[in-house]
Copies of this chain bind each other. A is one copy, B any other.
Amino acid sequence: MSTYTQINLVARPQPGPITPELFELVKKDIPKAGPGEILVKQTHMSLDPAMRGWMSPDMDSYVPPVGLGEVMRSSGLGEVVESNSPDFKVGDRVMGMMGWTEYYLGSGEGLRPVQEGLDAEMALSVFALPGLTATQGLYGFTEPKAGETIVVSGAAGSVGSIVGQLAKADGLNVVGVAGSDEKCNWLTQELGFDGAINYKTDDISAKLTELAPKGIDMYFENTGGPIQQHVIDHMNAHGRIIVCGMIADYSSAQPSPGPNWISIIKKRLMIQGFTMPDHFDQVPALVGKLAPYVMAGKIKYRAHTIEGLESSIEGLNLLFTGGNKGKLIVKL
């Protein structure tokens, strides 16, 4: 094979599903690595909810959007097939922001080596954006304490599932919110969550009373939607809320209103929004924080793998419909 495919973003998404017209498939000749450069054959790409934001031009003060005509941004894992860099040798596995492309050519800046023996799916499911985001969000702004109760929305998602398992390992009472009985069963039976709520079918408030009888001390928000108000109603004084995602609203033209702020005063709540790109300089420390939990077997994951570069486009929509079961990965 002397050509490869990359996918460029050529239009901005409108509210609603991601459509193929937003992208352009480009066939290119496989290049040679120039001086100081490496050529990486990407084998796995990660699809993450943040990507919708990267496609949008209105993300004021967030990371800059992907430029039109540029390769779609994504993180992935691959193998160095040519190297003119002293930092990499042929055969090295590397991970980082390589984009929607079968081959990456560049200096390798920002790419990290992948530990030998670390499964590609685990690398992308745990030691990439999901695990780093979970670790930063759970520990970076407030300290979770044994005996406290945490509620995690989007709990079966790639970030939420790790947040819940970390909190469980720390001795918290962990309640997950997800959108199907299958996901809820996975949380409680496989991941060890203390309880799970199916927001589509359960009486959310009644389940919170049952599963968080001493009230809620921390809320890790991945979804938005009507769960917010119920959780706030059950929160304890001095509760902390980490706002990591609003996946229920990313695709909607008219975002739903949030809770009234009176409870923020009455309960003296602290609410902190964050995005992972602000904390990329802390990645080594975050990996260091996360690794012992993984080594101790506390962090399970499941990957939902789809095949082929072009499957990414339709794959993105799975993240916003809840159609994926586990970390969404594209195998190239």
Please state if A261 and B273 are interface contacts (CB–CB under 8 Å).
yes
Q: Which residues of B contact A61 (CB under 8 A)?
A: 236-237, 266-267
* Nearest B residue (CB) for A235: B61
Given known A61-B236, A237-B61, contact A268–B258 (CB-CB < 8 A): no
Quote the shortest CB–CB distance from A55 to chain B (angstroms): 14
Size of the A side of the interface (Cβ < 8 Å), in residues, is 38
| Min distance, Cβ A270 to any Cβ of chain B, angstroms | 5
Copies per assembly: 2
How far apart are the CA atoms of A237 and B278 in the complex, in Å? 11
CB–CB A224/B262 < 8 A = yes
Please give the residue numbers on chain A whose beta carbons come within 8 Å of chain B beta carbons, in ascending order: 53, 59-62, 221, 224, 228, 236-237, 243-246, 249-250, 255-275, 278
Residues of chain B within 8 A of A236, CB atoms compared: 61
If A61-B236, A237-B61 touch, whether A260 touches B246 (CB-CB below 8 Å) is: yes
Contact of A269 among B249, B267, B273 (CB under 8 A): B273
The residues of B that contact A259 with a CB separation of less than 8 Å are: 257-258
User: What 9 A-B pairs come out closest when comparing CB atoms?
Assistant: A257-B257, A264-B273, A61-B237, A255-B260, A271-B271, A258-B258, A265-B273, A243-B264, A246-B262
User: Could you say which of B53, B224, B273 contacts A268, with CB atoms under 8 Å apart?
Assistant: B273
A265-B246 contact given A259-B257, A260-B257, CB 8 Å threshold:
yes
Pairwise interchain contact B268-A275, C-beta atoms closer than 8 A: yes
Chain B residue numbers with a CB within 8 Å of A246 are: 260-262, 265
* Chain B proximity of A284: nearest CB distance (Å): 21
Pick the residue among B243, B266, B273 that contacts A62 (CB under 8 A). B266
Asked if A261 contacts B258 (CB within 8 A), the reply is yes
**For A228, A266, A268, A273, which residue has the most chain B Cβ atoms within 10 angstroms?**
A273
Q: Is the CB of A271 within 8 A of B264?
A: yes
Alpha-carbon distance between A311 and B209 when the two chains are bound, in angstroms: 43
CA distance A267 to B58 in the complex (A): 12
Q: List 29 A-B contacts (CB under 8 A).
A: A59-B266, A60-B266, A61-B267, A62-B237, A62-B266, A224-B260, A224-B262, A243-B261, A246-B261, A246-B265, A249-B260, A250-B262, A256-B260, A257-B257, A257-B258, A257-B260, A258-B261, A261-B273, A263-B273, A264-B271, A264-B273, A265-B273, A266-B275, A267-B273, A268-B274, A269-B272, A270-B270, A271-B271, A271-B272
A255 CB to nearest B CB, Å: 4
Given contacts A246-B265, A265-B246, A273-B267, contact A260 B260 (CB under 8 A): no
Residues of B within 8 A of A224 (CB): 260-262
**Complex: chain B residue closest to A232, CB-CB:** B258
Given contacts A257-B258, A259-B258, A260-B256, contact A272 B270 (CB under 8 A): yes
Q: Which of A59, A257, A261, A270 has the most CB of B within 10 A?
A: A261
Closest Cβ–Cβ distance, residue A256 to chain B (whole Å)? 6
Chain B contacts for A237, CB-based, 8 A? 61-62
- A137 → chain B closest CB, angstroms: 11
- Beyond A61-B236, A257-B259, A263-B273, 15 extra complex contacts between A and B, CB < 8 Å: A224-B260, A224-B261, A244-B265, A245-B265, A246-B260, A246-B265, A249-B262, A255-B262, A258-B258, A258-B259, A264-B271, A266-B273, A268-B275, A270-B271, A270-B272
